Amino acid sequence: MEIRIDPHTLERAEERGTNENEIKDVLNTGSTIQAKHGRMGKAKVYDFNRDRHGEYYEQKRVEVIYAIEDNTVITVTVYVFYGIWKEQK
């Protein structure tokens, strides 16, 4: 299935600390999560082990919200959360 990353998603990715490669990885290998408004979502936890905005974080969780139209995954937005999760990759 083709993946089309919306420009809005890339803008949010840069602001929130992820990138196009991680977005595609989440869509291809992430776990399904709930999303609102008839959309779909996937998430994946990555090792981070560095500072962000003056705080040290061991991991980050990248969540991609998307829709499927005509056999194409179209991203809506991406969220990034920093902390530690029990589940690993």
- 89 pLDDT band (50/70/90 cuts)? very low
| Residue 67 forms part of a structural domain | yes
Given pLDDT bands bounded at 50, 70 and 90, which one contains residue 87?
A: low
63 domain residue, yes or no: yes
The pTM assigned to this predicted structure is: 0.92
79 is a domain residue: yes
Q: What is the pLDDT of residues 8-65, one digit of tens each?
A: 999 999 999 999 999 999 999 999 999 999 899 999 999 999 999 999 999 999 999 9
Helix (H, G, I), strand (E, B) or coil at 70: coil
Q: Is residue 89 part of a domain?
A: no
Asked if residue 20 belongs to a domain, the reply is yes
Asked whether residue 35 is assigned to any structural domain, the reply reads yes
The answer as to whether 12 is a domain residue is yes
Number of structural domains the chain divides into: 1
Q: Which domain does 22 fall in, by range?
A: 2-83
The CATH number of whichever domain residue 8 belongs to comes to 3.30.2310
